[in-house]
């Protein structure tokens, strides 16, 4: 599996996308030897319909499945490890539930940015464009798995949510498509917040002395640009609201709320839990202080750091 921070992003991203279709459990562990699945997804019965279709991801998750996402091209050994987890999970379900119906047992989907033709042939997979999409390879019946080669997927709205998991140009373009979705899109802001969380973690790593790859540096630049554009958009919308209402309060409220949402997202990403009283203190900060906090929090290591900073801002 991809390494931190990408695996944390994936384990939030996929369950968030699929939450209206069923339950997605990240980091599902399998006994007896501890093995971990990225996401174990159990579809609702009957399968729910959503206001915004997830395209190819919808089709892949119509039945219960294990989802394994790789940041770098998956290796032969990693595919074998995924298959072992699949077989152990199917066996575990049979033991615990006496479930033998094929449609109730999970299948496995492996997502990888690229993959060699040799590995695809080694596992006997075949592309089934008529049923799925170009870039989706299905193993022979009885192996219960398929491989999605993200960089081979066509650039359409049906593949957007999977192309965000790609690398380099493919991921950059998908994030740009996400940003350009209508503001009324039900998933746009939530997924953008998760993407900004990835930016926050990469920035934290950089400030802590960890070197970023060229690709990661480019991703940080791309996300930082989108982040600034979003703030500028909020500024313009706030000004327009202020003009329409004939008062400055509308502009300031819009800007303050946007800055507050971004800061709280960053803090929760870094510290996991924020007590309600601390949230209240942060919400009472001015917009200028919220913008300062969005930079300062990258150096925070604990809730105590947040409290210390807040105490310094209060008279």
Q: Which of 38, 46, 4, 56 is nearest to 22 (CA)?
A: 46
51 with 132, same domain?
A: yes
142 with 242, same domain?
A: no
Q: What is the pLDDT of residue 308?
A: 86
Which domain does 204 fall in, by range? 188-313
148 with 219, same domain?
A: no
**What's the total number of domains in the chain?**
2
Whether residue 32 is preceded by a cis peptide bond, meaning omega within 30 degrees of 0, is yes
Tell me: the pLDDT tens digits for 70-120? 989 999 999 999 999 999 888 888 888 776 665 578 999 999 999 999 999
- Segment (H or E) for 26: strand 22-30
Q: What is the pLDDT of residue 198?
A: 75
174 with 192, same domain?
A: no
24 with 135, same domain?
A: yes
Q: What is the pLDDT of residue 140?
A: 94
0.75 cut: is pTM over it?
no
Q: What is the pLDDT of residue 246?
A: 47
135 with 272, same domain?
A: no
94 with 33, same domain?
A: yes
198 with 173, same domain?
A: no
Q: List per-block mean pLDDT (blocks of 10 residues) for the chain, which spans 315 residues.
A: 64 85 73 65 61 81 91 94 91 78 81 96 93 94 94 95 91 88 85 77 66 74 70 56 51 66 77 80 82 78 84 75
Alpha-helical segments (H) within the chain: 6-18, 56-60, 76-97, 117-122, 160-163, 168-179, 188-207, 214-245, 248-271, 276-283, 287-296, 303-313
106 with 154, same domain?
A: yes
Determine contact, residues 262/195, Cβ cutoff 8 Å: no
């Amino acid at each position: 599996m991809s390494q931190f921070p990408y695996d944390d992003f994936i384990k939030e991203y996929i369950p968030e996308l699929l939450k209206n279709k069923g339950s997605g459990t990240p980091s599902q562990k399998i006994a007896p030897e501890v093995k971990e699945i990225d996401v174990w997804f159990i579809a609702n019965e009957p399968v729910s319909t959503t206001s915004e279709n997830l395209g190819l991801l919808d089709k892949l998750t119509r039945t219960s499945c294990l989802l394994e996402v790789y940041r770098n091209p998956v290796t032969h050994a990693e595919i074998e490890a995924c298959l072992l987890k699949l077989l152990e999970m199917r066996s575990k379900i049979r033991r615990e539930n006496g479930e033998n119906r094929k449609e109730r047992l999970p299948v496995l989907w492996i997502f990888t940015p690229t993959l060699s033709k040799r590995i695809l042939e080694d596992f006997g997979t075949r592309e089934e464009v008529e049923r799925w999409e170009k870039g989706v390879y299905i193993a022979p019946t009885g192996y219960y798995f398929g491989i999605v080669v993200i960089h081979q997927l066509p650039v359409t709205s049906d593949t957007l949510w999977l192309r965000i998991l790609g690398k380099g140009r493919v991921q950059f373009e998908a994030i740009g498509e996400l940003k350009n979705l209508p503001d009324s899109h039900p998933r746009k802001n939530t997924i953008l917040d998760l993407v900004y969380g990835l930016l926050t973690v990469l920035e934290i790593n950089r400030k802590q002395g960890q070197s970023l790859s060229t690709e990661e540096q480019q991703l940080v630049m791309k996300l930082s640009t989108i982040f600034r554009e979003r703030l500028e958009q909020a500024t313009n919308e706030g000004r327009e609201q202020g003009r329409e209402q004939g008062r400055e309060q509308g502009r300031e409220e819009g800007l303050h709320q946007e800055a507050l949402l971004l800061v709280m997202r960053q803090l929760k990403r870094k510290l996991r839990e924020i007590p309600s009283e601390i949230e209240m203190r942060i919400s009472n900060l001015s917009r200028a202080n919220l913008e300062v906090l969005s930079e300062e929090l990258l150096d925070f290591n604990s809730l105590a750091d947040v409290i210390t900073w807040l105490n310094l801002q209060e008279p």
